Amino acid sequence: MKAISKICVLLICFAFCSSMIFAASLELFELSHPVYDELEALYVMEGKASPMGAKPWTQADVRRLLDGITPSYDGSKELWNHINGYIKESDGFIFNAVLDPQFFYHTNEDFKGAKYIASSDELDKQVAVLGFGYKYKDNVALYMDLSVGVTPSDVHTFNVVNEKLIKIDNTNNRLYSKWGTNIPYLKDPLNIMNFPNNAYLAVGTSAFRLVSGRGQVEWGNGVLGNMIIGNTLPYHDYISLTFNGSNKFTYQLLSSFFSHSINKLNVTNKSSTDRMPLNGLRFFLGHRFEFSLFNGKLMLALNDTIMYQSKDNYVDLRVLNPLFFLHNGYMAGNSNSLASLEIEFSPTQFVSIYAQFGLDDYAIIGEPRPNEAGSSADGLGLMLGFRYRKPLTRTFLFHGNGELVYTTPYMYHRAMEHEDTFTRELYFVSSTRYMISGQSFLERYLSFPFGSDAIAASFSAGIEKIGLFDISANLFLMAHGVIDEYSSIRQYTGSEAITMTPSTSNPLGTGEDKGGVQEYTLAAGLDLTFYIQSWLPLNIGVDFVSVWNKGNYKAPVAYDIQVNAGLTIKY
């Protein structure tokens, strides 16, 4: 006990001293804030890898990252000063008011669902937000917002009918007509049961902090998504512990907690009138170790994560062990582990090259290998990309990106033994409950938004005038197999033939082959953000989308032209 007491005292003294050296606020920047893209651009222009992939950042993080770079161009100096304007040094009350109406129009009503609507994430925004908080001596930040909005576009309701699960279609209609908005109306009822969308208590210093709250989180610097955890959900209910060793090392322990959705619990021998209890425990837990080497030119990050569940609310504390990458060997019955390596290198000014590699429960010595009875399919993911950022004048910047993502059919998935009861739910898919009708849940991949069984590529190029406008052209291509977040998966029996490319069948599932064809998507668009005032940005987007074999059913190519627009008023 004496040793533990001494360690606690040393940690408190270290935190206090760190706060004296790195005095800055623990107030968080939401992931929609432009500071993330702008700091990334600043670093790449100066020949450094993108900074700190564990998000969200605090104002102290932004101050430290700004202080760690010396601009050498008029354009980067202008951008440095612009980012510096986001930092509020004074303590006291936090007040935030936002009106953010978003609209879209598309020509083809058959393009239903968030997967086919380029602006669907914009429509998930809360239309009105009123936030309050308080900062105290750079060591405590407390914030909560009150928000008004509508239910996300892909919430589903599950009922039990004749002892089988029935998934009812989307509970709202924004993407089922030519017009859509995030303003509540009769066909798309007001969602007031899930606020706050953003709330947190942050305690610590700029170097060492504990955050408990609700909001968006992300690991990595991918454009389409990230191998482990991406910006795919409206919010997480999470706890994080972060240590920043100057700009050379960052460690974060992150845990996000989810509901057990009704379709993933035992429902056999239940009548259609039963209300199923939402008991059980399900959470994501991950360790991230990020290193900045060679004066910031090289970034390395190791991520060790696990999706853990327990019907009886039991927690095996071994999940807290950093780099415990053999989760599968010890807890295969109630967990799914996923590890990844991230690398980013800037060979010269204006350019950075990056890669992510994900490994999902690779079979170790003593476990059945794939194709052997009782084994699981290996899951692999790979992301390759480049960034180009160059100042054209003091205020004009050029930006370009290219990215390629590959995920094998069973990445993010482990065995789910029965297609009706889903008694083993082992996959990297969220399950967030919404209070609408019946048992309603939002289920999305935590990582790459299109999940497993995909090959995707994106390209973009544009020009930004700092603080005034940003216009860009985008191209997206994807081939996707039949396996998605609702696919049931069992273990090998020893005879299945598994492909490593987008699939046309699911040999480890039943009745889910759809049309037995791959789906192909091509989308091209233009996006404009224009700052009428610094507190009044206008965004407009136009997209052309074409899909072959939509929904993995044999079908002729379908086209859609989509227009989205929104005006954000901030105070």
- What is the residue-averaged pLDDT of the chain? 83
Domain ranges in the chain? Answer: 2-570
pLDDT by residue (tens digit) across 137-165?
888 999 999 988 887 877 777 665 555 55
Which segment of 197-206, 249-258, 267-276, 280-289 scores lowest on mean pLDDT? 267-276
Predicted local confidence at residue 159, as pLDDT:
60
Which segment of 78-92, 274-288, 298-312 scores lowest on mean pLDDT? 274-288
CB 159 within 8 A of CB 138: no
- Assign 246 to helix, strand or coil: coil
What's the CATH code, domain 2-570? Answer: 2.40.160.130
Whether residue 243 has pLDDT greater than 70: yes
Dist CA 328 CA 337 (whole Å): 6
Answer with the residue of higher pLDDT: 321 or 187: 321
Predicted local confidence at residue 430, as pLDDT:
85
DSSP lists the bridge partners of residue 300 as 291, 343
Whether residue 485 has pLDDT greater than 50: yes
Predicted local confidence at residue 15, as pLDDT:
39
Percentage of residues in the chain with pLDDT exceeding 90? 50
Predicted local confidence at residue 187, as pLDDT:
54
pLDDT by residue (tens digit) across 409-454?
989 887 655 545 444 557 788 878 777 666 677 888 999 999 999 9
pLDDT by residue (tens digit) across 113-132?
788 888 888 888 889 999 99
For residue 81, give the DSSP letter: H
DSSP collapsed to 3 states, 448-508: CCCCCCEEEEEEEEEEEECCCEEEEEEEEEEEECCCCCCCCCCCCCCCCCCCCCCCCCCCC
Predicted local confidence at residue 489, as pLDDT:
77
Predicted local confidence at residue 123, as pLDDT:
84
How deeply is 460 buried, as exposed, middle or buried, from its count of CB atoms within 10 A (0-12, 13-18, 19+)? middle
Half-sphere exposure at residue 85, Cβ-oriented, CA atoms within 13 angstroms: 12
Which segment of 48-62, 63-77, 323-337 scores lowest on mean pLDDT? 323-337
pTM of the model: 0.88
